[in-house]
Structure 1
Amino acid sequence: MRPCSLPESAAGQACGGNLHSVPTPKPANESREYEARHLLVLEGLEAVRKRPAMYIGSTDTRGLMHCLWEIIDNAVDEALGGFGTRIDVTLAKDGSISVLDRARGIPVDIEPRTGLSGVEVVFTKLHAGGKFGGGSYNATGGLHGVGSSVVNALSSRLDVEVDRNGATWAMSFRRGEPGTYDGPGPRAKFTPGSGLRKVGRVGKGVTGTRVTYWPDRQIFLPDAQLSLADLQARARQTSFLVPGLAISVTDARTAEVTEETFLHEGGITEFVDYLATDEPVTDVLRLQGQDRFTETVPMLDDDGHMTPTDVDRDLDVDIAVRWGNGYDHHVQSFVNIIATPKGGTHVAGFERALTRSFTSALEGTRLLKAGEEVVKDDVLEGMTAVVTVRLAEPQFEGQTKEVLGTPAVSRLVTRIVDRELTAFLTSSKAAVKAQARQVMEKVVGASRARVAARQHREAQRRKNALESSSLPPKLADCRSTDVDRTELFIVEGDSAMGTAKLARNSEFQALLPIRGKILNVQKASIGDMLKNAECAAIIQVIGAGSGRTFEVEAARYGKIIFMADADSDGAHIRTLLLTLMFRYMRPMVQAGRVFSAVPPLHRFELTNPRKGQDKYIYTYSDAEYQRKAAELTKKGWGFKEPQRYKGLGEMDASQLAETTMDPRHRTLRRVTVDDGLLAETTFEMLMGNDVGPRKEFIVDGAYALDEAAIDA
């Protein structure tokens, strides 16, 4: 057989078989060809437009907001340096964003190496600016010198005006290229051309910068939108971090223009008060200090070689912290006012110092028993803190600056915080000593609760099918283990418990009786709560821990239902149970898994019911009772003297099942939390130790009460 010599397009058909389906490899010399002409060199800001996510993280809403942060942070850096006390941010209807400050203004003179004005250098050259140790800034949020130029590259149009040297200077750009427009907006005719224009005069000493830009929709995703809420939150945060700096945010994108100005003279002390949601155990403490460290950095020498050079750095540490009676902790950290949501060496040093300080201070007291110890989580419980450090040229991980990486910061922050916090915990001043004692007691309580919770979990794990359950003997458990179906009724009193046992569906309904009114845990300490038999039994039966260690996924029941009498004592019992749930098992409430049963108040028995008509009719309030009595009388239906239930124990099993426990007929009230802070405040007012606000609430409510409605 001779080889086929036809062209590739015909070879398969002429030679037969399935040769036409097999791709023919390219010649070896063609596939390996790789010369300098194949290299793509991205000039100027082309690299930014080609790979925007490298510079702003993403091209969605987060990246769009990051561009705005870059421009705002430039103005904030000026304020940090002592120049300017106001920044105005405006979101305009035409899609533009403007940031105005009254600081020194971007330099307008010629930069000697490039021959360009300072404005053009800042907005067109990557890694150009005054934040590389040239003496213009000591500590800044900007680091890499790419913020303004990146925003310019990713804008369909950017206008900058600078007030300086008695004049207003202006320059415009289209996607990073300098030039001029013949009208407003990014669609106006553009003529390329470099150069700064003098467009007006200003008074002597008037300086500042105005940047207006239109994000380029060729770059950002169609659904990327500016978030007013995020902008306001960032402005508020910055006003806390730079006391005396006013930041105005105006949203003019709709017909209804909104404007809000953020100014906080109290600094991060006010910030902690704003962030904290629980009742305070201590005042806000300020832990402040300065130190110096030596950092080895590569620097370019006169011969063009990178030489490791030791550089002295100054570090300023300012931390505001307070403890409250809650369980969650909230720490926000910043480096040169730039948020570091993922922490870094400054947060690591702070947390290390917390444990060290409390361990040392507790050794000199009798609060901690032999064998007990505190760990970081114990100290963090109920703590709200704002950690700020300032230093020149910090090492961040990436342009988005979410993690501080400068190694020496951890050691210095630990030293400063340990010194300042130890002074607070061991102070001999009466007022300070009382607060220190309270917070140390809270930490020790958290330690014991952690150990108790761990022991309980370990005991649960050790149980097997041959071991007896450690659950309270008075619990009448259900057979099902399907959490989506199971229900735990917390029942008031043994008499109601007996009836409820007969009325329940034992497949999925469990019963736990309580004796009267449980402990008011809003007033009691965590230790007293754990010692209380009723509270301990409820926590044990639910089986998910308590406080900070509570794990809602571990709960043994899908619904927790309070079942108490429909009177004032029953209402008080429900309130006490709800206080326990909200304070120590809050995720159950937030998940909508806590309910209150609604037992009836009255029962009508019809003397001659019609076929298919219920013999018994139940009403659940006095108003409903009056309406039902009038309705039955009007229709001429006879009924016996209505029965009024004084408690759950007066119903027989069938009545209790039909009205209160059977899912097909009962009514449940779900307990929800719309506003956590408001709920926390309300519980403290109604159930806490401070009598004054509770008395005022009761007196105010008394005037609104209809005396005729009192059942006396």
Structure 2
Amino acid sequence: MPKQEYGADSLTVLEGLDAVRKRPGMYIGTTDSQGLMHCLWEIIDNAVDEALAGACDHITVTLHDDGSVEVADNGRGIPVDVEPKTKLTGVEVVLTKLHAGAKFGNASYNAAGGLHGVGSSVVNALSSRLDVEVDRDGKTHHMAFHQGHPGVYSDTDPEHPSPDAPFKRTRKNRPTELEIIGKVSPKTTGTRIRYWADPEIFNDTAEFSYEQLIDRVRQTSFLVPGLRITVIDENVPETGDDSVDEMMEVDAAQTPADDGTGLMDAADIVSAADTAVEDTVEAGEAEARPAAVSAAVETAKVDAARHTHARVEEFRHTGGVKDFVDFLSAGEAVSDIWRITGEDTYEEETQAVGEGGELHAQKVTRKCGVDIAMRWTNGYDTTMRSFVNVVETPGGGMHVDGFLMGLTKQIRKAVEDNARKLKVNLKDSNMRVERDDILAGLVAVVTVRIAEPQFQGQTKDVLGTAPVKPIVTRMTDKQFGEMITGSKRGYKEQSGRVLEKIVGEMHARIQARKTKEVTRRKNALESAAMPSKLSDCQPGNDDVAELFIVEGDSALGTAKAARNSGFQALLPIRGKILNVQKASLSQMLNNKECAAIIQVVGAGSGAGFDIEQSRYHKVIMMTDADVDGAHIRILLLTLFYRYMRPLIEHGYVYAAVPPLHRIALAGSHKGEFIYTYSDDELAGRLADLERRHISYNPDIQRYKGLGEMDADQLADTTMDPRTRMLRRIRMEDAAQASEIFSLLMGDDVPPRKAFIVDNADDFDRSKIDT
């Protein structure tokens, strides 16, 4: 094989934005939907930076029906004068030059999200067309680009611009003047950027996610109090006036009756296959809204009038991260929302731009603003969101590390100071609070605002500015320390509940570790370690093993004779178990029935639950077909949902469906029986028998409990896989499921009463045992 020559002529130099088009992944991560959304975030972040600078209070994001996206703000507008060094207008510099913009200096932006200076120019490079309009100095300026290069489009219809229209590119190295297309009030300023993502760059599966956009806009409205953001989607089929009225997220302090979303959708939460139980909750908008909100709604309606097919959603909050935590919280609150705020300074060596454009090192003093809100709920999931200058950092970073360090230190200290009250043996090395114990049920939003943050990568997933960590740690140490020790007024009772929950999580983790040691039935010794009342099945059938949780000892006796001991295990419970929705974690662990169920399932509890370690693939609730039996099923479901949720998520939980009636046939069919499962079914079967002239014993047996059946009847109707009917419990939506469990099983009585009254006449009789 001949040796290839390698010289200077082998080198390729990509100028301007060509490098971005050649290697887009370096700038936006991927060229699928994720990269497409990242481009949108870059443009939105630039508008939000204007809001952070105090120059903008309204942003509008429009998803046009031609596939383009437009972001408009009423900020100061991109500069339109000529930049001395490049001899180009500010608009062209911002949109065509990498690492160019006002955010590299210290005058225009003290804290901003788009600090790498590549956001707008990268989006321009990866767009088949980009149009920008700037309102400034009493005029509206316009400029267009094709794949990052400036020029002029000859649109057939200026009202409907297209990337396919003829394009004349501006000659290289020739200054491009902005086109003035109109006049505005001298006080009117702002920027509008509309772009069409280039299909040559993004793959066929790339598409905009409306849900991601709404989530991002909502979180931004929390992080920049007072900023109004309107989202218009022209891609929704016309549905009438309702498409305009899906309106507002408003600060809870402004509208106490509102739930934060304005509307509460139907909740199809925990239901069973075939005859699933479905409860629907509908809540209307708040009866009264402030004048400012009403005005905003009317403004959005006017915007929507121009887009008859558009759906419009608008967001504005004034409570900041406190409102954000309230929005993210699910389940019953263990504490109020606690706040850590403050500002400190640090020194950092940075590269400054001199008058001649040269770089030189200098030490500067930076300000670091910290704003953290947190709350503990009675669940075990952790919801933590972190941000730097409103840019989310999913990977955390120095600010999160500092917060967790201070949090862990103060909680461990508080537990040690209250060891006797919390029943913690400090001499036991295993009884040490770990970070996972603290994070269980924690909802927190951690934000910092700093100038020129250092991120790990252009996608800004992790904050790397090291001096931020000790600042956040010190503030957390001081302010949270006063809260958790109860020395701050009004926090004593709350701190006690928080510490009790965290210690309960510690005990649960320790217990889970012990339980795992006896989870798999490998020998007789392990099986003997289970509760004495467990009638276990034979080892070796793990993949098909079933656990029947049986109500009462009388039913247990019949079930023992009816079961197939090869793969069916029985665990009796004595009546109604503890309502874990109202109880603390320690109370749940101390309850014999709850502890026995957790131990028998063998996969732990809470955050440490491991579905792979479950000893059974079916956990079947077998209770009487009456009101008490239904209540016991709900209590069991509450236990599974709060502490063994993966059982429900993986479809391991079932409800047995025992019959309510037995019809004994007579005449030529004597000795045959028909079982029915509801009053309506009974009436229908009796009518069918009479129509077919089949006689039956009029003394129809009504089962009041499982104990009234003999073993053969129980096996045929309820336990034998060949003839039984089971209802699989499924969970459609975790957040809505949490709300429903809190509503129906929690301490707050008035909402539960209102729910029962409102839905008393709206239920399906076929889904209850009657």
Residue pairs, 1:110-509, within 5 angstroms: 110-183=82-155, 184-193=161-170, 194-256=176-238, 257-298=310-351, 308-365=361-418, 366-368=420-422, 369-371=424-426, 372-428=431-487, 431-458=490-517, 469-509=528-568
Distance apart, 1:152 and its partner CA: 0.9
Tell me what 1:47 maps to: 19
C-alpha contact 1:367 1:444 (8 A) present in aligned 2:
no
Q: Which has the higher contact order (CA 8 A, sep 6+)?
A: 2
What amino acid sits opposite 2:181 in the alignment? Answer: V
Which of these residues, 715, 722, 725, is aligned with residue 664 of structure 1?
722
Distance 2:654 2:388 in 1: 46
C-alpha contact 1:598 1:669 (8 A) present in aligned 2:
yes
Tell me what 1:19 maps to: none
Distance apart, 1:186 and its partner CA: 1.2
**Superimposed CA distance per residue, residues 379-419 of structure 1 (whole angstroms, 9 cap, x where no aligned partner):** 11111011100111111111111111111111111111111
**Superimposed CA distance per residue, residues 299-343 of structure 1 (whole angstroms, 9 cap, x where no aligned partner):** 577999976532221111101111111111110000111011111
Specify whether residues 124 and 701 from structure 1 end up closer, same or farther in structure 2 by C-alpha distance, changes over 3 A only. Answer: closer
**Superimposed CA distance per residue, residues 550-584 of structure 1 (whole angstroms, 9 cap, x where no aligned partner):** 11221100011011111222222222222221222
Which of these residues, 10, 19, 42, is aligned with residue 38 of structure 1?
10
Distance 1:266 1:379 in 2: 26
Please give the TM-score of this superposition, normalised by the length of structure 1: 0.91
Distance 1:711 1:157 in 2: 63
**Superimposed CA distance per residue, residues 396-447 of structure 1 (whole angstroms, 9 cap, x where no aligned partner):** 1111111111111111111111111012123446632211221121112112
Which of these residues, 583, 597, 601, is aligned with residue 642 of structure 2?
583
Tell me what 2:294 maps to: none
Residue pairs, 1:20-35, within 5 angstroms: 25-26=1-2, 30-31=3-4, 33-35=5-7
Distance 1:168 1:700 in 2: 55
**Highest Rg: 1 or 2?**
1
**Superimposed CA distance per residue, residues 593-636 of structure 1 (whole angstroms, 9 cap, x where no aligned partner):** 111111111111222345xx971111111221122222222322
Tell me what 1:592 maps to: 651
Distance 1:208 1:699 in 2: 52
**Superimposed CA distance per residue, residues 651-681 of structure 1 (whole angstroms, 9 cap, x where no aligned partner):** 1111111000111111111112223333333
Distance apart, 1:166 and its partner CA: 1.2
Which of these residues, 523, 526, 536, is aligned with residue 595 of structure 2?
536
Distance apart, 1:259 and its partner CA: 1.0
What amino acid sits opposite 1:575 in the alignment? Answer: I
Distance 1:301 1:74 in 2: 25
Partner of 1:592: helix, strand, or coil? coil
**Superimposed CA distance per residue, residues 503-524 of structure 1 (whole angstroms, 9 cap, x where no aligned partner):** 1111211111122222222222
C-alpha contact 2:21 2:201 (8 A) present in aligned 1:
yes
Distance 1:711 1:142 in 2: 59
Residue pairs, 1:514-593, within 5 angstroms: 514-593=573-652
How many residues of Structure 1 are paired with residues of Structure 2 in the alignment? Answer: 680
What amino acid sits opposite 1:80 in the alignment? Answer: L
- Structure 2 residues without counterparts, runs of 5 or longer: 156-160, 171-175, 239-309
C-alpha contact 2:382 2:439 (8 A) present in aligned 1:
yes
Task: After superposing the two structures, state which structure 1 stretch, 352-361 or 238-247, moved more.
Answer: 352-361
Distance 2:313 2:132 in 1: 24
C-alpha contact 2:347 2:363 (8 A) present in aligned 1:
yes
Specify whether residues 560 and 134 from structure 1 end up closer, same or farther in structure 2 by C-alpha distance, changes over 3 A only. Answer: same
Does residue 616 of the first structure (1) align with residue 616 of the second (2)? no
Distance apart, 1:154 and its partner CA: 0.9
Specify whether residues 625 and 466 from structure 1 end up closer, same or farther in structure 2 by C-alpha distance, changes over 3 A only. Answer: closer
Tell me what 1:67 maps to: 39
Distance 1:395 1:529 in 2: 46
Specify whether residues 39 and 200 from structure 1 end up closer, same or farther in structure 2 by C-alpha distance, changes over 3 A only. Answer: same
Specify whether residues 691 and 178 from structure 1 end up closer, same or farther in structure 2 by C-alpha distance, changes over 3 A only. Answer: closer
Distance 1:105 1:203 in 2: 14
Does residue 683 of the first structure (1) align with residue 741 of the second (2)? yes
Partner of 2:598: helix, strand, or coil? helix
Tell me what 2:72 maps to: 100
Distance 1:403 1:490 in 2: 47
C-alpha contact 1:111 1:118 (8 A) present in aligned 2:
yes
Distance 2:671 2:399 in 1: 71
Distance 2:763 2:37 in 1: 52
Tell me what 1:511 maps to: 570
* RMSD of aligned residue pairs (Cα, Å): 2.4
Distance apart, 1:254 and its partner CA: 4.5
Distance 1:662 1:246 in 2: 61
Specify whether residues 444 and 71 from structure 1 end up closer, same or farther in structure 2 by C-alpha distance, changes over 3 A only. Answer: same
Distance 1:482 1:388 in 2: 51
C-alpha contact 1:367 1:441 (8 A) present in aligned 2:
no
Distance 2:467 2:764 in 1: 69
Please give the TM-score of this superposition, normalised by the length of structure 2: 0.84
Specify whether residues 259 and 691 from structure 1 end up closer, same or farther in structure 2 by C-alpha distance, changes over 3 A only. Answer: closer
C-alpha contact 1:292 1:313 (8 A) present in aligned 2:
yes
Distance apart, 1:270 and its partner CA: 1.0
**Superimposed CA distance per residue, residues 241-282 of structure 1 (whole angstroms, 9 cap, x where no aligned partner):** 101111111111354311111111111111111111121111
Tell me what 1:15 maps to: none
Specify whether residues 414 and 496 from structure 1 end up closer, same or farther in structure 2 by C-alpha distance, changes over 3 A only. Answer: same
What amino acid sits opposite 2:651 in the alignment? Answer: G
C-alpha contact 2:78 2:134 (8 A) present in aligned 1:
yes
Specify whether residues 185 and 706 from structure 1 end up closer, same or farther in structure 2 by C-alpha distance, changes over 3 A only. Answer: closer
C-alpha contact 1:331 1:385 (8 A) present in aligned 2:
yes
What amino acid sits opposite 2:184 in the alignment? Answer: V
What amino acid sits opposite 2:201 in the alignment? Answer: I
Specify whether residues 701 and 40 from structure 1 end up closer, same or farther in structure 2 by C-alpha distance, changes over 3 A only. Answer: closer
Specify whether residues 274 and 466 from structure 1 end up closer, same or farther in structure 2 by C-alpha distance, changes over 3 A only. Answer: closer
C-alpha contact 1:609 1:615 (8 A) present in aligned 2:
no
Distance 2:194 2:433 in 1: 53
What amino acid sits opposite 2:684 in the alignment? Answer: R
- Structure 1 residues without counterparts, runs of 5 or longer: 1-24
Tell me what 1:18 maps to: none
**Superimposed CA distance per residue, residues 467-519 of structure 1 (whole angstroms, 9 cap, x where no aligned partner):** 66311122111125444311100111222112111111112111111222222
Tell me what 2:694 maps to: 637
What amino acid sits opposite 2:543 in the alignment? Answer: D
Distance 2:769 2:125 in 1: 75
